[in-house]
Structures are given as C-alpha cells and as structure tokens.
Amino acid sequence: MNVVIFSGGSGSDFLQQGLYRNYPELDIKIITNAYDNGLSTGLIRTVFDGNILGPSDVRKNQSRHYALKYGKDEVYSFIEHRFTSTDPVNYVSEYFNSLECLDKKLQILYEIVAAYFKVVPEAKSIEYVDFSIGNIIYGYLAHKNGNSLQAAADEMRSILNIDQETILNSDESLFLQAITESGKILHDEADIVDYANEDDKIVDIRFATVDGGYKTHSTFCTRAVKAVEQADLIIFSTGTQWSSLIPTYKCKPEWQYSFYELIDHCKAKKIFLVNGAPDKDMYGCNGDDILDIVSDYLPIHKMTIVSGKTDIAPSKHECYIEDFGGAKYNKDQLAKCLMWLYFDKPSKDSVFVFDWDNTVVGRHGEYKEFSRKNVQLLPKNSYIITGNSGSKVDLKGFEVYADGGVNLYNNKKLLSCLDKSVVIDEEFYDKVKSFIVKYGFNVSMLQDRGNVCLSIKPLDPKYRYVVRDLLRHELGTEYDIECTGRTTIDIKHIRNNKLIAMKDIINKCSGPQIYFLGDELESGNDSIIEQNKSSLGVTTVSVSNPKDTYTFIQSIR
C-alpha cells in the first residue's frame, strides 16, 4: 500500500512513529520542501553561496526513520549531534573517536564531514555555534552532487540503508518570505516560524531567488508528481503551515495541471490533519481558519479532516473529531485512526468477505509471512469467495464459496451448489473434451471442479490466449472462458460468478455492514462486486496483495 505524507521537519513526527510501529508493511514516501534558513541550516547555505537548499527538514525525516528502524544508536547520535566550537575540525574528530561504534556507516559519515572541512575553503570562515553535524553532511553531499539536496537525500538513504523515500518538492534553491495583512515582509523563514501577531496575520508567502529576484510559486517536480499519482493514501500532516507546508502546496507542477488539480484528480484517499495546538505562524487562528487558508491550495472539501479539537464548525467543514488524549496526538491512536478511516471504518461487528488468491494468501507461495498472519487473524465473522476450487482453500471454521462462487464448502468439503442452472452437464463436458483431443492436448489436462467449472492446465503461457480465443469461438457466449493464474484456462457458465455468493451472504447477515476485499476490483472476477456494490449495499476495499489485507485486518476496531 502506497502512502504519501506531506510533511515539514518535525510536524509529522508522531504520525510517522505511529505508522511505523503499527503498520511497518506500508510503503511510505515523504514529500517535503527545504526552504529552512535558520541557525546552522542558514549558515551551511551561506557556505555554498546560497546555491543549496536548507538540509534540516530532509535530515530530520531521514534520521527519524533511521531511528525507527535501527534505534537511536551512535550513527543517529552523530547525525543529530549539535556542537559549539572555535576549532570544529578537531572537535568533530575527537567526538568521532570517542564513539565506540564500529559501524561502517559511521565511518562514511565522518569521512564526509572531514572532506567538507578539507575541500570547502569557506567551511572555516563561519562560527560553529549550536551547529548540526548532520547539516554539514547533507550540505557537502548536495555540493558535490551539483548543489542537489535531492541527490544528497538519495545518497544518505543508501548510506543509512533506510526504506523510506524522502522527496523534495523542488531542488531549486529558494528563500522563503511572508507577507502580512498590512503588507509587511518577513524576509527570513526563521522569522515566519516565530511570528506571533494576531493583529497583523500572515496572508501570503513568496520565494526569493539567489540572484535577488522573486517567485510567487515554487515548483513541484515530476518525481513528486509520480509519487502522488501512485499513492493509495495521502496524508497532509500537521506542522507550521506558512513556513513548512504551504510552501509545498503553493507550487506549479512540472506538468499541465495546477497542484490543486493534481491533488483533486489523483486516485488516492486524502486525509488532512489539523494541528492539535496553534503554531506561531498562524497565531490566533482556530481550526476553521486554518482550513479556510489551506483551501486556497488544496481541495479541502474532498478530504477527510481529522482533528482532536472541536473548533471546526460542522456546517462549514465536515470533520472527524477524536479525543487523542491531549493537545498532542497520541501516535499509536492516530495511526490506527487514520487506517480505520482509510478503510471506511470497519468494526468488529461488521461482516468481512475476502477474495482468496493474492488477497488473503499470495499466489505461488508469495507473501508467505503475511499469508500466514492473515489466515490466523481472519475475523470470526468472515467468508471467502474465490474463483478457485474450494478443496484447495486450507481454512478451517469458515464458509468458502468457490468454483467461481456458486459452490459452498466448509473444511474443504462441498456442502451445496447455490444455483443448479450453472451445473455443467455431460454433453458440454464431452464437447470441451473433444476440443482438447482435436487440438492435440492431453485429456488429463481437463479438470472438473465441483461440476460447475472446467479447468484446462497446465498450458504453455505462450499459447493460452490463442487456446482461449478458439474455445470462445467454438463454445459461444453462454460460457465465461478466461485465462487464470499462470497456466490455466477456466470455463464456467456466464451466470456463475461471485455475485451469487455475495447475495447468499447478504441474506445470512442482514444488518451489519459488509466489506468485500479483493485484488481485482477494476478487472477480473472481483469486478462484478464492485459494479453492483451500490445495489448490494456492500463496501468494497481494493487491495494489491496480502500485505494490504493484513493492514486492513489490523485496522478493524
């Protein structure tokens, strides 16, 4: 499952911790900007004549993920160490030598810092007061990669061996400025962060270029666009809006649409988190005010709004309010709440219907660990609907609708056929058998599954579609003939589909909300449920593999 988080540096801390602790199987990408210009971040930018972006927010996101994966070891401590010294070369050398860690990663990081002081003449011309070693590392890596902070982030991802990808909205070095109601200009990002004047609020931002010019919008790069387009869930995290988040939203993508339209049109479900406590850059603004401001850049009206406070008027913004136990979000509760909302609020009182192959269990032995967990954790009020044979579903204590959906099994034993009109008679069986002989295949390749489905296998994948088309020509339109798996053709009556099973389950379980999970909702044998979900009153959930199904099961409240 692909998750994109729009983040600043620290604002998504609890969110990222909660997701990693509770859903480590998620593929998470962070999209951030790097216009920070305060403290050591600003100084490292001056060392390189303003030609690199501020590394602090990239550093924070990557070191956070490193700590979640490996713990706050000496590699983490080295990156996040801050120092004050008039002799920075010796200080860093002595600090490094004091560390007991022999990790190769630490040695590489130290060599980067040493190269910075050796190669960059300006490195010794600034004061090192409360200075971040990590900012030196990222700054030098950006410098040696053509002033690209994105290249530095990618190199650090490799050095640290972390999974999470951090993507910059843009690699162009710009400096953030803000404009207030009275027209006053805040010339530095650090001033925006600390601005707390409700009598003269910030109303806009702009971007200063290295050569002294100005831009009204930043750029949203193609790599970030692709991440958004491929996302299943997009979370707009908490943080300082004017200084950390709106600079990403106020952009022009490197394509034909605006950023607003990009977010509006993408397939992902979108969740916006409202800050639990006000930040100085929006001093005096309540939840409604924040949403009004951000709605200039994001299609807020199409998002699920999540807040721990009640300062959002339901008549103005539809919002899900949850008590997270204080001004700050509870990291685990927040993560579970977001996944529960993403999957349309499944509860233990609901009824769950699962496709089998590539939904509960992986095909051909794939996703073994998640397949095992899914089988163990299936809620007791669950059913299986599969196009495969029920005799092959190794699951005790659950009813299984199989052979297309019309045959009901329990513990691999066939109990009944729900629609006798789709039973394959002897005459049709002989017709398919004659076809096999006619085209030179072995009769043993024909298998009868519960008298309602015939399978021909194994077939060479190169010829399967040719054989399928020949069968369709000879057998007519009354039968559904499809290539399934990797080497199989299935033949069944066109009325034999998963709709039969779903209607039977609905009759048994009237009342609770019913969820259907499948990996082929757009096309394949799950699509008939998707096409009829409104009339059935069923909530459908699209999954890509058993990892997604595991995430769904974990989200049930």
Q: What is the pLDDT of residues 538-557, one digit of tens each?
A: 999 999 999 999 999 999 98
Alpha helices by DSSP H, listed for 129-216, are 133-144, 149-160, 189-194
pLDDT at 249 over 60: yes
State residue 190's pLDDT score. Answer: 87
pLDDT at 381 over 70: yes
Q: For 23-27, 483-487, 534-538, which range has the lowest pLDDT when averaged over its residues?
A: 483-487
Alpha helices by DSSP H, listed for 145-253, are 149-160, 189-194, 222-230, 246-249
State residue 313's pLDDT score. Answer: 77
Which positions ≥6 away from 219 have C-beta within 8 Å? 169, 170, 172, 251, 252, 253, 254
Which sign does the torsion angle of CA 535, 537, 539, 545 carry? Answer: negative
Domains and CATH numbers, the chain: 2-342 (3.40.50.10680), 351-419+496-555 (3.40.50.1000), 422-493 (3.90.1070)
State residue 109's pLDDT score. Answer: 97
State residue 325's pLDDT score. Answer: 66
State residue 327's pLDDT score. Answer: 57
Total Cβ atoms within 10 A of residue 159: 18
* 344 dihedral zone (left: phi>0; alpha: psi -120 to 50; beta): left
State residue 27's pLDDT score. Answer: 97
Asked if the peptide bond before residue 458 counts as cis, ω within 30 degrees of 0, the response is: yes
Half-sphere exposure of 288 (CA within 13 A, CB side): 9
The rounded mean pLDDT for the chain is 93
Q: What is the pLDDT of residues 25-35, one digit of tens each?
A: 999 999 999 99
pLDDT at 187 over 80: yes
- Residues of the chain above pLDDT 70, percent: 99
With contact defined as beta carbons under 8 Å apart, do 543 and 549 qualify? yes
- Residue type (1 letter), 459: L
Which positions ≥6 away from 63 have C-beta within 8 Å? 76, 79, 80, 134
Q: For 154-163, 351-360, 458-467, which range has the lowest pLDDT when averaged over its residues?
A: 458-467
Give the DSSP letter string of 293-339.
Answer: HHTTTS-GGGSEEEESSS-S-TTTS-EEE---SSSSPPHHHHHHHHH
Residue 251, helix vs strand vs coil:
strand
* Region 59-77 average pLDDT: 96
* Region 309-321 average pLDDT: 80
For the entire predicted model, the pTM comes to: 0.92
State residue 121's pLDDT score. Answer: 92
With contact defined as beta carbons under 8 Å apart, do 297 and 250 qualify? yes
* Region 369-379 average pLDDT: 96
What is the C-alpha separation between 162 and 237, in angstroms, rounded?
A: 21
- Residue type (1 letter), 430: D
Residue 425, helix vs strand vs coil:
coil
- Residues of the chain above pLDDT 90, percent: 82
Tell which wins on pLDDT, 118 or 326.
118
With contact defined as beta carbons under 8 Å apart, do 390 and 402 qualify? yes
pLDDT at 537 over 60: yes
Partner residues linked to 30 by β-bridges: 5, 166
State residue 365's pLDDT score. Answer: 87
Report the Cα 340 to chain-centroid distance in Å.
14
Name the band, by pLDDT with cuts 50, 70 and 90, for residue 171: very high
Give the DSSP letter string of 502-526.
Answer: HHHHHHHS-SS-EEEEES-SSSSTT
